[in-house]
């Protein structure tokens, strides 16, 4: 709901709010410029003195006005010719032209009415209303996203466009709310929707005399120039006319023959409110505030562009569910609780796989939960993301209420799969809440609750096999989070290894493809990647991409992978045969779960064979010289010691603290897990000190490493499983 309140006004009023904010930002400069340029009255100067001086210079003076900036303008008639000038209060002499600034006038008319009269004013008021709704809904969205307003300035994650959008918004929102609220007030006032102020009655009795000098009038002597707004002189020759004085406090009439105050009316409270609002909106009288508001308004066009980018990315991310069956006929019901759309992607994969396995499947948002309609259902599967600190994601709103309100739980057993990010404290909290509610309701369980950390396709495939077992079908879930847009990569160099040990391998380096501006903004494709991310390469003659871990980050300026030729392997055979200049078709898949993360905690990197790739990438990127201990298993140092030369250089540069190698080919095979055991005391100490363990390589090696670590950690009371829960032990296993 709130998201819709943010999205639609944003998209519909994008052009309007862009014009409003840009013209508003430009206009914000004028009050400050006027403040600087206008000659100011000296402190304590009175209106009487000012009137005296100006009348000395311009005997035909009719009116003196003081703008909130302190600029004083005099209007006079000299032998029937009208004149006007900005006056220096120190001398009473004209100092500058009083003609309105044409640029400012043009901008003002654009800003308030698009040069379209009342229709334009209404359009701009609608724009201001849209801005206000956007700002308030945006505030609620950010509050929810960062789990409460106390975390308003917390660090953000995710693609650049979304981050930029929120970074600007959380600073600019104050100004935008202020500017749009005051704009609506001013529009309402212009259209007479607000009560106006009173007017002092014109005095009936005047002395009938003329010629009392304004410099002698008591009220003018008592009124400092700082409070002056306007002083109007009587018509020459009209003895019934009066002096009219307007100040910050009110309006009064003075007799031109005696100087006596004839009538006075204070400003009403309502008028004061209106004037304050005018000041807050225009910056006239509050030039610095005006500049700040103008700067904040400048963020709007950027937020517009990034907002559209986020919206488009969200739309792209939500796939179409093909062959969705009616709820009443489906054997399997898939309920999806997704915020940004990525969980829908998993649902689509599961839907397709189940359909292929011969199932009739109905997929729907969790918010459409309707157990009475699931007449043919044999099982109900809930895929639930979590929003913020445990709230229901957008498409799951109301699910828990409906479940609680139901007479009884459905007969068909259910399974919950949670999607989340283990680095957040409320990991899969909503999925857990759903599972708990189901259990409390007595809903039979198909499978225990399980979790997918950071959209891991591996986790999902593992869960899919378990689901297949529970259903008695063979279920292989090969999930690609977003249908990849492929790019063509050109090989620039290759370094061969391993031929001598019957494991021909190569380090392949590709040139960075050119990134379009939108890609850089969204961080799409190869515009943004880190070591440890995955690259999918499509071999010729097979639609199935092969995934490799990247050994380089974008800032390294190239794309690097380590590939081993498998005997008879179609893809690896093609890739290891690439020569510089050859091209491949590839796409990027992020792997946020396999990152060294920030901080200074030591890293323990453990890899064997081509698994060295991402680990070498981490070391290469370790410019901040975080302590890094690399355990590297190979067959023979003369043959498959990938990055041997670089590792020595990186060590000398402080990027690598310690390198421990294990060689398996020899009289006595020595594996990387053996190397860990050999360093047990150090490894245990490092982990006690908060080290993060990252393992990359084959499944057997990973299992061996886990066993070794379990042994090493036994005396400390820690276990690999506990470390995994904390996110301090991550694997990239193939």
Partner 1 sequence: MKLKSLLATLALTTALTLPGLAMARPVTLTTTLNTYGGDGAYLALYVTDASGAYVGSLWMAGDKSKYYEHLSDWYRATGGDTAQVNGITGASVGAGRTLEITLDLADALFDAGYTLHIDAAVEDMRDSPNEVAVPLTTAGAGTSVTGRRYIASFAYDM
Q: Give the footprint of partner 1 on this chain (CB under 8 A).
A: 62-63, 75, 77, 80, 82, 84, 98-100, 102, 105, 109, 117-118, 189-192, 196, 199, 201-202, 232, 235, 240, 244
Q: Kindly give the interhelix angle for 612-620 and 644-652, rounded to the nearest 10 degrees.
A: 30
According to DSSP, the β-strands at 228-232 and 61-66 are antiparallel
The nearest distance, CB 598 to partner 1, in angstroms, is 54
Kindly write down the DSSP assignment for every residue of 35-85, as one continuous string: HHHSPPPPTT-BHHHHHHHHHHH-TTEEEEEE-TTS-EEEEEEETTEEEEE
- Tally the C-alpha atoms within 13 A of residue 38's C-alpha that lie toward its C-beta: 25
The nearest distance, CB 125 to partner 1, in angstroms, is 14
Q: With respect to partner 1, which residue has the nearer C-beta, 64 or 220?
A: 64
Q: With respect to partner 1, which residue has the nearer C-beta, 46 or 244?
A: 244
How many other CB atoms are there within 10 angstroms of residue 180's CB atom? 26
The nearest distance, CB 131 to partner 1, in angstroms, is 23
The nearest distance, CB 132 to partner 1, in angstroms, is 22
The nearest distance, CB 68 to partner 1, in angstroms, is 13
What does the alpha-carbon distance between residue 343 and residue 259 come to, in Å, rounded to a whole number? Answer: 80
Q: With respect to partner 1, which residue has the nearer C-beta, 201 or 448?
A: 201
Q: With respect to partner 1, which residue has the nearer C-beta, 82 or 669?
A: 82
Q: With respect to partner 1, which residue has the nearer C-beta, 97 or 583?
A: 97
Maximum Cα interatomic distance, the chain, rounded to a whole number of Å? 126
What does the alpha-carbon distance between residue 292 and residue 29 come to, in Å, rounded to a whole number? Answer: 10
The nearest distance, CB 229 to partner 1, in angstroms, is 12
How far is C-alpha 3 from the chain's CA centre? 14
CA nearest to 430, candidates 389, 390, 399, 401: 390
What does the alpha-carbon distance between residue 611 and residue 47 come to, in Å, rounded to a whole number? Answer: 84
Q: With respect to partner 1, which residue has the nearer C-beta, 102 or 667?
A: 102
The nearest distance, CB 63 to partner 1, in angstroms, is 7
CA nearest to 209, candidates 175, 234, 184, 189: 234
According to DSSP, the β-strands at 228-232 and 242-247 are antiparallel
The answer to whether the beta carbons of residues 685 and 692 sit under 8 Å apart is no
The answer to whether the beta carbons of residues 673 and 705 sit under 8 Å apart is yes
What does the alpha-carbon distance between residue 158 and residue 140 come to, in Å, rounded to a whole number? Answer: 19
The nearest distance, CB 154 to partner 1, in angstroms, is 45
Q: With respect to partner 1, which residue has the nearer C-beta, 234 or 532?
A: 234
Q: With respect to partner 1, which residue has the nearer C-beta, 255 or 453?
A: 255
CA nearest to 686, candidates 633, 627, 726: 627
Which DSSP category does 284 fall into? T
Q: With respect to partner 1, which residue has the nearer C-beta, 100 or 425?
A: 100
The nearest distance, CB 281 to partner 1, in angstroms, is 15
Q: With respect to partner 1, which residue has the nearer C-beta, 236 or 580?
A: 236
Q: With respect to partner 1, which residue has the nearer C-beta, 5 or 239?
A: 239
> 232-241 in b/e burial notation, b at 16+ Cβ within 10 A?
bbbeeeeeeb
The nearest distance, CB 75 to partner 1, in angstroms, is 4
Tokens found for residue 449:
């609750």
The nearest distance, CB 202 to partner 1, in angstroms, is 5
The nearest distance, CB 206 to partner 1, in angstroms, is 13
Q: With respect to partner 1, which residue has the nearer C-beta, 52 or 271?
A: 271
Q: With respect to partner 1, which residue has the nearer C-beta, 109 or 486?
A: 109
The nearest distance, CB 119 to partner 1, in angstroms, is 12
- Given 3-state DSSP classes, what are the helix, strand and coil percentages for the chain, each rounded to the nearest 5? 45, 20, 35
Q: How many residues does the chain have?
A: 734
Tokens found for residue 418:
């949670």
According to DSSP, the β-strands at 628-634 and 558-564 are unpaired
The nearest distance, CB 10 to partner 1, in angstroms, is 31
The nearest distance, CB 101 to partner 1, in angstroms, is 9
Q: How far is CA 92 from CA 30, 57, 229, 292, 541, in A?
A: 24, 6, 17, 33, 90
Tokens found for residue 274:
């209106």
Q: With respect to partner 1, which residue has the nearer C-beta, 118 or 372?
A: 118
The nearest distance, CB 151 to partner 1, in angstroms, is 44
What does the alpha-carbon distance between residue 180 and residue 187 come to, in Å, rounded to a whole number? Answer: 10
The answer to whether the beta carbons of residues 63 and 72 sit under 8 Å apart is no
- How buried is residue 301: exposed, middle or buried, by Cβ count under 10 Å (0-12/13-18/19+)? middle
Residues 6+ apart with CB under 8 A from 641: 497, 634, 661
Q: With respect to partner 1, which residue has the nearer C-beta, 241 or 480?
A: 241
What are the beta bridge partners of residue 335?
364, 382
The nearest distance, CB 228 to partner 1, in angstroms, is 16
Tokens found for residue 477:
């879930």
Q: With respect to partner 1, which residue has the nearer C-beta, 84 or 521?
A: 84
> 136-172 in b/e burial notation, b at 16+ Cβ within 10 A?
bbbbebbbbbbbeeeeeeeeeeebbbbbbbbbbbbeb
Q: With respect to partner 1, which residue has the nearer C-beta, 190 or 661?
A: 190
Q: With respect to partner 1, which residue has the nearer C-beta, 69 or 386?
A: 69
Residues 6+ apart with CB under 8 A from 155: none
CA nearest to 120, candidates 55, 32, 191, 210: 191
Q: Kindly give the interhelix angle for 2-12 and 117-145, rounded to the nearest 10 degrees.
A: 140
The nearest distance, CB 53 to partner 1, in angstroms, is 19
């Amino acid at each position: 709901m709130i998201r819709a309140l943010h999205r639609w006004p944003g998209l519909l009023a994008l052009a309007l709010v862009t014009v409003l904010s840009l013209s508003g930002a430009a206009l914000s400069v004028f009050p400050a410029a006027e403040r600087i340029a206008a000659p100011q009255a000296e402190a304590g100067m009175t209106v009487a003195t000012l009137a005296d001086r100006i009348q000395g210079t311009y005997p035909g003076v009719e009116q003196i006005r003081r703008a909130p900036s302190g600029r004083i303008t005099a209007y006079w008639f000299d032998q029937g010719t009208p004149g006007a000038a900005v006056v220096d209060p120190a001398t009473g002499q004209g100092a500058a032209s009083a003609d309105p600034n044409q640029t400012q006038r043009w901008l003002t008319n654009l800003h308030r009415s698009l040069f379209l009269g009342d229709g334009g004013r209404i359009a701009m008021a609608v724009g201001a209303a849209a801005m206000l709704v956007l700002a308030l809904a945006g505030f609620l969205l950010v509050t929810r996203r960062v789990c409460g307003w106390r975390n308003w300035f917390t660090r953000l994650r995710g693609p650049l466009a979304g981050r930029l959008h929120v970074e600007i918004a959380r600073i600019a929102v104050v100004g935008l709310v202020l500017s749009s609220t005051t704009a609506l007030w001013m529009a309402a006032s212009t259209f007479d929707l607000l009560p106006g102020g009173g007017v002092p009655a014109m005095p009936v009795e005047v002395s009938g005399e003329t010629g009392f000098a304004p410099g002698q009038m008591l009220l003018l002597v008592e009124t400092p120039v700082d409070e002056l707004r306007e002083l109007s002189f009587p018509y020459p020759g009209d003895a019934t006319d009066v002096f009219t004085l307007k100040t910050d406090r009110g309006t009064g009439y003075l007799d031109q023959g005696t100087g006596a105050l004839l009538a006075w009316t204070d400003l009403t409270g309502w008028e004061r409110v209106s004037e304050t609002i005018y000041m807050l909106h225009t910056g006239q009288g509050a030039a610095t505030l005006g500049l700040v508001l103008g700067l904040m308004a400048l963020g709007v066009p950027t937020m517009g562009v990034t907002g559209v980018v986020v919206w488009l990315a969200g739309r792209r991310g939500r796939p179409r569910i093909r062959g969705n069956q009616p709820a009443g006929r489906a054997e399997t019901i898939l309920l999806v609780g997704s915020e940004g759309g990525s969980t829908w992607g998993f649902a689509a994969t599961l839907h397709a796989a189940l359909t292929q396995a011969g199932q009739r499947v109905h997929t729907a948002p969790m918010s459409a939960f309707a157990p009475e309609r699931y007449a043919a259902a044999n099982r109900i599967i809930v895929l639930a993301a979590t929003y913020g600190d445990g709230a229901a994601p957008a498409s799951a709103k109301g699910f828990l209420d409906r479940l609680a309100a139901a007479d009884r739980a459905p007969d068909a057993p259910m399974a919950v799969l949670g999607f989340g990010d283990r680095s957040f404290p409320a990991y899969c909290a909503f999925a857990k809440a759903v599972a708990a509610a189901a259990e409390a309701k007595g809903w039979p369980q198909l499978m225990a609750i399980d979790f997918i950390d950071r959209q891991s396709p591996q986790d999902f495939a593992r869960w899919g096999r378990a689901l297949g077992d529970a259903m008695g079908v063979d279920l292989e879930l090969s999930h690609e989070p977003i249908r990849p847009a492929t790019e063509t990569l050109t090989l620039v160099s290759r370094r061969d290894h391993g031929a001598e040990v019957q494991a021909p391998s190569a380090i392949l380096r590709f040139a960075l493809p050119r990134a379009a501006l939108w890609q850089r903004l969204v961080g799409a494709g190869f515009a943004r990647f880190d070591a440890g991310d995955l690259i999918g390469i499509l071999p010729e003659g097979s639609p199935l991409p092969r995934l490799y871990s990247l050994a380089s980050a974008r800032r390294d300026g190239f794309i690097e992978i380590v590939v081993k030729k498998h005997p008879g392997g179609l893809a690896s055979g093609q890739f290891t045969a690439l020569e510089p200049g050859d091209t491949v078709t590839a796409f990027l898949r992020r792997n946020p779960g396999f990152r060294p993360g920030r901080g200074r905690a030591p890293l323990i990197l453990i890899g064997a064979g081509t698994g060295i790739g991402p680990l070498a990438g981490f070391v290469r990127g370790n410019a901040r010289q975080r302590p890094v201990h690399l355990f590297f298993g190979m067959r023979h140092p003369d043959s498959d010691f990938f990055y041997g030369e670089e590792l020595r250089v990186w060590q000398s540069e402080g990027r690598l603290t310690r390198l421990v190698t294990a060689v398996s080919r020899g009289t006595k095979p020595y594996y990387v897990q053996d190397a860990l055991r050999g360093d047990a005391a150090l490894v245990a100490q490092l982990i006690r000190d908060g080290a993060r363990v990252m393992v990359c390589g084959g499944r057997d090696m990973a299992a061996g490493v886990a066993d070794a670590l379990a042994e090493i950690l036994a005396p400390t009371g820690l276990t690999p499983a506990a470390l995994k829960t904390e996110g301090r032990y991550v694997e990239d296993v193939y």
